Structure 1
C-alpha cells in the first residue's frame, strides 16, 4: 500500500503533494481578497448613507444565502464571458482571454469569505467603546489615527475568533474548486482513485491532510489570540 504514496511513476506521492501546494496557495491568496471585501462590506453596512447600507446588507445577505459551489460556477463561467465581452468592445481584434480556475477560485471563495467576514467585523466594530473614539478626537487625533491606533487593534482582538473559524471553513471549501478542473488536493485525489480503484485509501489520506491543516491552523490561531489578548485581564 505504501508504494501508492511513493514518488515517480510507481506512486502518487508527488501528485498529492502538488495538489496540496495548490490548495495552500489558493487559501493564502483568497484570505486577503476576502478580508478586503469584508472590510468594505462592513463599512458600507455601517455607513450613514442609506444606499451604502442597502448595498452592504444586500451583499452579505445574498452571498451568505448562496451555496459556495453555485457561486464558484457563476464566477468561473460568468466572469470569463464578461471579461471577453468587455475586451471585444474595447479591442475587437484581440484574442479571447481564458479565465483560469485558480483565479475563479480566489474570486468566488473571496466573495463568500468576505460576506461572512463583514458580519464578524461589523459586530466587532459595534462592540467598541465609543468613548475611546471621542477621547481620541478630544486630544486632536485624526480619523485615520483613531482607526489605526484605537479601533483596529481592538477590532482585530474581537474579530479574530470569528475570522479564524471562517479561515478554517474556507480552507475546507477549497476542495470545491476541483469541480472546475483546478489540480488541487481533492482533484488529484480523485484522479488517483480513478486510476488505482482504491477510493478508501486515497480519500482517507485526503481526510487526514485536511484535518492536519485545520489542526495546524487552530494552533496558529490560538497563538494569535493569546498575543492579541495580552495585557487583558480575564474575569
Structure 2
C-alpha cells in the first residue's frame, strides 16, 4: 500500500527498509489517540458550553477561566505542564499513602491532555451553536412538557450540530495534527515511528515526508466523513429554504 502510494508520488526510489509495521502501529496509535481525545473534548465541550450559558456564576466563572487559560497558552506548554503535573501529583499521593511508585501511561496521559486542551475549543464551538438555536424552539418544547434532558436530546442537539459542525471539523483537524506533540512524552505515535525509522536508516527526511502523506490521507478521509455529517444534519433545511 505504502509502496504504491510512493510510486505515484515519485518517491519509490526508497523502500520502507522493514519499518512498514512500525509505521502502521504508529498510524493506528495516532488514530486511536485522536478519536479518544475527540470523545473527551466533546464531553468537556458540552459541559463547558452548558456551564457558560448557565445562570449560575459558580458555573460560568470556572468555565470562563478554563477557556481563557487554555486558549491563551501554547499547546506544547500545556501538554508538558499537564503531563508532569499529573505525574507529580500522583507521585506525591503514592508517597503519602506509602504505595509503590506508579508511572502514568503515556497513552492515557496523551488522551487526557489533548482532551482537556481541546475541550476548551469545543466549549466555544458548542456555546455559539447553542446560542444559534432559535429560542422559540425551546419555548415550544417546554410548552409541550418536555423535560430538560428531552429538550436537549430532541430539540437543541440536532439543531445545534448543524451550526457546530464547521467548528467541530476545524477543531478535529487541528487536534489530529496536534497528536504529533505527544511524541515528546514518550508515546510511539506516527511521528515517533517516522523519526525512529529515519534515524535508523539515515533517511529522516524521507520518512517524515511519508508521515506527512499519511496525515494527509487521514485528514482527507475525515473531510469525507464531515461532509456526510453536514448533509445528514442539514437534511430538510435546504429544501425548506427553496
TM-score by length of 1: 0.93
Look up the SS of the partner of 1:47 in the other structure: coil
User: 1:54 aligns to what?
Assistant: 61
Aligned: 1:196 with 2:190: no
Correspondent of 2:163 among 158, 166, 170: 158
For 1:60 and 1:150, locate their aligned partners in 2 and report how far apart those are by CA, in whole Å: 26
Correspondent of 1:139 among 133, 136, 144: 144
User: 2:176 aligns to what?
Assistant: 171
Question: Which blocks of at least 5 consecutive residues in structure 2 are unaligned?
Answer: 1-11
Contact 1:3 1:11 (8 Å CA) reproduced: no
Look up the SS of the partner of 2:15 in the other structure: helix
For 1:81 and 1:199, locate their aligned partners in 2 and report how far apart those are by CA, in whole Å: 34
For 1:174 and 1:167, locate their aligned partners in 2 and report how far apart those are by CA, in whole Å: 11
User: 1:111 aligns to what?
Assistant: 116
How far residue 3 of structure 1 moved from its aligned partner, in angstroms, is 6.2
In the TM superposition, what whole-angstrom CA distance separates every residue of 1:111-142 from its partner, at most 9, and x where no partner exists? 11100000000000111111111111112221
Contact 1:4 1:13 (8 Å CA) reproduced: no
Correspondent of 2:44 among 12, 23, 37: 37
User: 2:15 aligns to what?
Assistant: 4
For 1:100 and 1:29, locate their aligned partners in 2 and report how far apart those are by CA, in whole Å: 15
For 2:24 and 2:149, locate their aligned partners in 1 and report how far apart those are by CA, in whole Å: 44
How far residue 96 of structure 1 moved from its aligned partner, in angstroms, is 1.3
Aligned: 1:217 with 2:222: yes
For 1:88 and 1:231, locate their aligned partners in 2 and report how far apart those are by CA, in whole Å: 59
Look up the SS of the partner of 1:4 in the other structure: coil
In the TM superposition, what whole-angstrom CA distance separates every residue of 1:172-216 from its partner, at most 9, and x where no partner exists? 110001111111100011111111111221111011001111011
TM-score by length of 2: 0.90
For 2:233 and 2:126, locate their aligned partners in 1 and report how far apart those are by CA, in whole Å: 16
Question: Which blocks of at least 5 consecutive residues in structure 1 are unaligned?
Answer: none
For 1:87 and 1:144, locate their aligned partners in 2 and report how far apart those are by CA, in whole Å: 40
Aligned: 1:22 with 2:29: yes
Q: Figure out how many residues of one structure are paired with residues of the other and give that number.
A: 229
Matches within 5 A, 1:117-136: 117-136=122-141
User: 1:79 aligns to what?
Assistant: 86
